[in-house]
Homo-oligomer: A and B are copies of this chain.
Amino acid sequence: MSHQGTPDEQAIKDAKIRQRLDRISRKIVIMSGKGGVGKSTVTVNLANALVDAGKTVGILDTDLHGPNVAKMLGCEEGTLESRDGQNFLPVKVRDGLYVVSLSFALNNNSDPVVWRGPMKIAVIKQFLGDVEWGNLDYLLIDTPPGTGDEQLTVIQAIPEMTGSIIVTTPQDVAVLDARKSVNFSRKLGVAVLGIIENMSALICPDCGKEIPIFGKGGGEKMSLEMDTPFLGSIPLEMHLREYEDIGESTLLKSPESRSTIALLKIASFLDSSIAVSTDRKDLKDTPSCAPSACSTCSSNCSSRKED
């Protein structure tokens, strides 16, 4: 992995990134202020739900210090292959689902990635420019917590970002940090597609009672206060974590569960209502943004109603 180059080299890299991203209809960054709220869980499951609905999806894991997406998808053993020694192919999880994560490039998953900002910026740009993503309906970009180098790099490198999804738990401290992510997204001109409240309540597997371990309703309340769409609540269920730990899809293994139903509903809402980035004319199979979609979303598409 190389560092950033001269201004000329950088311009070539940026052009390459744009060329790659032109072939991707919807680019969505998944963020949270606080860690451990389930960004990767949401990313992986939304991706699976979209693929089940016939879409082609890529996942880019930009959490370089703790890249867990591959483990959750059960493709830890994958490697980033290259046909020309310069560009590389994403790891295929199943038909329609591709992933790129730093974990594929590490020899030992116990070794820490001890990198300061500039190195992280360079690697994320490589992931965007040097990966042969091909034509995708969606690129879901999982990020680490916070509003620093990784998030800035992703957003600045993808000027036609479709929007952001902010994940939070209902807990006050998580909601506090999620507000920062909403404001961060807005400051940088990225439409907030919506808030997802994860771990919204736990059902006791013994007595069936609901346990609001991290509280309940904090995400929805915040989305109302901040005037952002609320995409839904995902309950905390044991099997979600269990399937994640063994790299199985909870949607497949537990199709009737409340969390699966919630995830499918969110994916379906996203797919039917968000606007696509229509400012590139060379996109194929990309429907025009429907005005009805624009009335419920706040994407960056050209037909978006101005505030």
Give the interface of A toward B (CB within 8 A): 33-37, 40, 64-66, 68, 71-72, 109-118, 120, 144-149, 152, 169, 171-174, 176-177, 179-181, 183-184, 187, 202, 204-207, 209, 211-215, 236, 238, 241, 244-245
Contact = CB atoms under 8 A, between A and B. Distances in A.
A122 to B, nearest CB: 13
Given A110-B183, A180-B110, A71 B172 contact: yes
B33 A112 contact: yes
A114 B71 contact: no
B112 A187 contact: yes
A65 B144 CA distance: 11
A132 B172 CA distance: 31
Nearest to A35: B35
A117 B118 contact: yes
Contacts of A117: 116-118, 148-149
Contacts of A66: 33-35, 145-146, 173, 176-177, 180
Contact of A206 (B72, B116, B152, B211): B211
B215 A245 contact: yes
A236 to B, nearest CB: 7
A187 B181 CA distance: 33
A241 B171 contact: yes
**Pairs A-B, 5 closest by C-beta atoms:** A35-B35, A36-B36, A117-B117, A65-B146, A112-B184
A112 to B, nearest CB: 4
Contacts of A147: 65, 112-115
